[in-house]
Structure 1
């Protein structure tokens, strides 16, 4: 890739340089038509332009070294001006000699200044060439820096999402393994074995999903059903889950495993702490260009602090909030309220997307 970038830059230089000098030669030729010059003068102009074009190739390796030179800007500018002046001399002296031989019948000026007459225009041309070269070079470096910054931000963003996504597994495993341990201690080995089997199915399904890829709501619900199958072993009839999925909502794309920690929070605080259990309701609807998700339980609820859960509670909810913020920024809403007559309600609004 680096070699390809260097090659591309090299050929781009050749093309731009050729186009620039071709434009210069053309403008000079067009400018002399008005004066009705001879054919030899047109050849003289063409030869001078080609000679200057070939000289310009010597600037590129020199300027690459100046660009990498660790010196202040003033020194670099002075050096570039000196190089432009030297190259203009190399251009103008042989062109003057040729001009005198062809058009002045071998006339030679008496003083040294005559050999470098018309040097100002040549110097100005190479100076403009140098400004254009460094301008393009600076622009390309800025582009590379911008691309590097964007790539670094993208990698950091991806790492953050993966970290948040993989944090779910240890948190969930801790609770599930505790439940399995409890079942073993109370000699309910069959139920413990069933929970281990369902845990294996759930983890296999969740690990197969790329944390950076979105899944359809239908796929997310299927994964959620695997998780609920584990919890059904623990709570049996005490746990009831109701789904209300609106038309077209099943095809909406959402981050993988975004519902599981929210449902897990309801099970932990609404179902596990109640002798009679409880109900969790999961709703999804499309409104305009947004997908609305609602997770509600009929537990005791909680005293909220400015719309947030108390400190130390709801690790999975805070994790989910972090993932949604990383993915959608200001394009999403996440609210926690107490349901009526009791319970906790979590409402999520994200942009409605479907697979192409």
Structure 2
């Protein structure tokens, strides 16, 4: 029962209305306690004085509730109008409460001969004004704090939505060269009356597109599943290049269980096919390797093509090639400074892409 009561109270306090009344009653309860303790030793009739304090507290709660309603109407006004309007509300509430408390004090205890009425009026008004000014300051302070939290939450939500939209855009963007080359190859097969091979390419293209579009771009997959998806693409390219395309995959240790962004490797392999394998009359070989080291996943995609001019290596991640640029952008969006992409020409020829990301498992 105790846990249920605490859970119920926590859920209730999650609403603005319940939070307000919890703070309202706690604050006025503290005021009542301090007033009672402070006057306990000089008051003769404690029961009568307790009733007076209770009435003063109840009237204070009622007046502060009216103040809150006035503040809510002033909330959407301009800064100066809100400031002076709020002071007017506080002064009006303080005047009413001072008159109530002064009248109650005079009715209960009378007026001493040495107490001037003007001095008493100033005292009771100053006392009441200070109480309600403090209440108003706390109200606006909490109000501004909640507004800043709401604005911060909206900003974070907007940034998150923009971040997700960017990732989805990068994830869904397909290289038109790949589609053009595949469809052109299918057209050639149809003209050559090789319907079976053309049908095989259409089926594999459909499987690849379905996989790329059906999977959530915000979710990560294991490297093993990523390689399976990559093989759908490579099966299409193998029909185009036949024996000219060789693929070597080497996943060491725990790397197959590592989580990676979906379709991370496809743009890199596609780039290797386009600029490496297709440039060689005898075809070539694409190597995909992965291993884990010091809490990181190390990926490498390389080919034995002609490579890239040294002056162009630094521009690969930001300029040339939509697929590679999008891959680098996705990695930066997902991992920030915890990722690294490096391009280098291999001594024996060809381009190698090295990727370093945090090692994560399901």
Q: TM-score, normalised by structure 1?
A: 0.91
SS in 2 for 1:210: coil
CA contact (8 A) 1:307 1:337 kept: no
Aligned to 2:51: 43
Aligned to 2:340: 333
CA contact (8 A) 1:218 1:251 kept: yes
Deviation at 1:291, TM superposition (A): 0.7
Distance 1:111 1:99, change over 3 A: closer
Structural RMSD (CA): 2.5
Deviation at 1:244, TM superposition (A): 0.9
Matched, 1:31 2:38: yes
Deviation at 1:239, TM superposition (A): 0.9
CA contact (8 A) 1:89 1:116 kept: no
More displaced stretch, 74-83 vs 117-126? 74-83
Matched, 1:220 2:226: yes
Q: What per-residue deviation string (whole Å, max 9, x for no partner) do you get for residues 132-172 of structure 1? A: 11111111111111111111111111111111111126453
SS in 2 for 1:90: helix
SS in 1 for 2:305: coil
Deviation at 1:7, TM superposition (A): 8.8
After superposition, residues 74-223 of structure 1 pair within 5 angstroms as 74-104=80-110, 114=120, 117-168=123-174, 170-223=176-229
Q: How many residues align?
A: 349
After superposition, residues 266-305 of structure 1 pair within 5 angstroms as 266-304=272-310, 305=312
Distance 1:35 1:103, change over 3 A: closer
Separation (CA, whole Å) in 1 of partners of 2:116 and 2:273:
103
Contiguous gaps of at least 5 residues in structure 2: 1-10
Aligned to 2:70: 62
Deviation at 1:262, TM superposition (A): 0.6
Separation (CA, whole Å) in 1 of partners of 2:148 and 2:200:
59
Contiguous gaps of at least 5 residues in structure 1: none
Q: TM-score, normalised by structure 2?
A: 0.89
Distance 1:153 1:311, change over 3 A: closer
CA contact (8 A) 2:172 2:212 kept: no
